[in-house]
Amino acid sequence: MKTLITSLTLLSISLHLNSQTVVADFENLTLPTNTFYLNTSGNDWQTANAEFRYSYSGFWSGGYAYTNKKDSSTAGFSNLYGCKALNGFNNSNYYVTAQPNEFIKLKSPANGVSGFYITNSTYAYKSMKSGDQFAKKFGGVSGNDPDFFKLTVRGYKNGVIKTDSVEFYLADFRNSNNSLDYIIDNWQWVNTSSLNQVDSIIFFLYSSDVGQFGMNTPSFFCLDNFTTVSSAIGLNEWANTSTSIKLYPNPAHNYIELTTPNVETLQILAADGRLVKEEVLREGEHRVDVSMLPQGIYNLMLTSQAGRRAARFIKD
């Protein structure tokens, strides 16, 4: 038993060393009260895990500006930096107001983005809610117009854009039932772990309200708790590290069933590399409880003296 416990401890330490999550909550940055990052030289800025592109051409023309601005009520262009949620995630002081089409570059050893919180800027929210001199009220006069405001996240690795993407609707009026129409006004988690290994990400915004010069909806959004992961094993590479495990059901809701030919250590890791469950399985058939896990994609690994087996499953 002592040898088994020591092995488990060493394996846990190894996983900890090979996988690390870093959260940029921006609270270590400094600004005068109720202001925002403004750099007339257009200098990028950074946190412990990423570099944020910032463009300036007589005004803030693109990229990311950290802010402690607290204005969730003023409509119009004069309030570029406020967010509809008023404060950062979990009532923090700092968050980021962003424009699309600029990069966030990950800093080594980070090689993936597990996710971040997002909400509408006050400017975009008020425009969609009531309309303004440039943009329409979402839903139109009748309330039946199928309007939307969508964020798409794409990843790059070694200068090549990846095929996978993550979409999030900041507003969605496409449902035939108007009571289901919404405009986001609080912080929502966006899981981007499906992008797997990346060295930078970029955001694109799309709206149903398009005019002669492009999108009429103000192209701003806000983000917080930008979370990166560094892992010696890329998420896409996980399934190729060993012989695969046969498990069912997949997707799973309350449990997964599998057969182990030896005494094996079972470990379940979240998509960002965090160890969320560990136990020792004896030879035979097993039902593993996953009911307490949040919805998402998980990696499962069985390790014994005979080697290592791995699989990926979905918790619905």
- Each residue's pLDDT tens digit, 82-129: 999 999 999 999 999 999 999 999 999 999 999 999 999 999 999 999
Supply the mean pLDDT for the chain: 88
The fraction of the chain above a pLDDT of 70, given in percent, is: 89
Q: What's the burial of 310, exposed, middle or buried (CB within 10 Å: 0-12/13-18/19+)?
A: buried
Count of Cβ atoms closer than 10 Å to residue 221 Cβ: 25
Cβ atoms of residues 67 and 29 within 8 Å: no
Mean pLDDT confidence for 277-288: 89
Cβ atoms of residues 157 and 235 within 8 Å: no
pLDDT band at 49 (very low <50, low <70, confident <90, very high): very high
What is the SS3 assignment for 5? Answer: helix
Would the pLDDT of 4 be above 50? no
d(CA 205, CA 109): 29
pTM for the predicted model, two decimal places: 0.72
Domains in the chain, start-ordered, CATH in brackets?
A: 20-230 (2.60.120.1350), 237-315 (2.60.40.3080)
Give the position of tokens 């329409």: 136
Give the position of tokens 């592109």: 53
Cβ atoms of residues 100 and 205 within 8 Å: yes
Cβ atoms of residues 183 and 171 within 8 Å: yes
d(CA 157, CA 102): 15
d(CA 8, CA 267): 10
Cβ atoms of residues 56 and 108 within 8 Å: no
Would the pLDDT of 6 be above 80? no
- Each residue's pLDDT tens digit, 180-220: 999 999 999 998 988 989 999 999 999 999 998 899 999 99
> Within a 13 Å sphere around the CA of 181, how many CA atoms are in the beta-carbon half?
20
